[in-house]
């Protein structure tokens, strides 16, 4: 069964790009090589700031659409909360 991802990239100009894919690493490489979405071309450097694993393509497309409808402040809160969870997980791993 194929896993899908919904992700956000922070572009060099500070904007956020939201997309979905079944191959996150490959898609990031395509964006960085200028072969991803037209929006991200020339807006580097591109940094992955959020990703979410979902079970199927339909869910990925629906979640991508929902994220794109959020205003920038809401997207920034989502990115910040995901970063905080990552840090908490890292600190827990370091204490083992």
Domain ranges within the chain, ordered by starting residue: 4-94
Write the pLDDT tens digit of every residue in 49-90. Answer: 999 999 999 999 999 999 999 999 999 999 999 888 877 765
What integer pLDDT is reported at residue 96 of this predicted model?
Answer: 32
For domain 4-94, the CATH architecture is 3-Layer(aba) Sandwich (3.40)
Phi, psi (deg, nearest 5) at residue 23: -135, 85
pTM: 0.87
* CA–CA dist 69, 61 (Å, integer): 13
């Amino acid at each position: 069964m194929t896993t899908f991802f919904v992700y956000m990239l922070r572009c060099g100009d500070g904007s956020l790009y939201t997309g979905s894919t079944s191959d996150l690493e490959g898609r990031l490489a395509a964006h960085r090589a200028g072969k991803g979405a037209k929006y991200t071309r020339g807006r580097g450097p591109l940094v992955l700031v959020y990703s979410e694993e979902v079970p199927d393509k339909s869910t990925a497309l629906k979640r991508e659409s929902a994220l794109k409808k959020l205003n920038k402040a809401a997207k920034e809160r989502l990115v910040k909360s995901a970063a905080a969870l990552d840090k908490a997980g890292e600190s827990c791993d370091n204490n083992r």
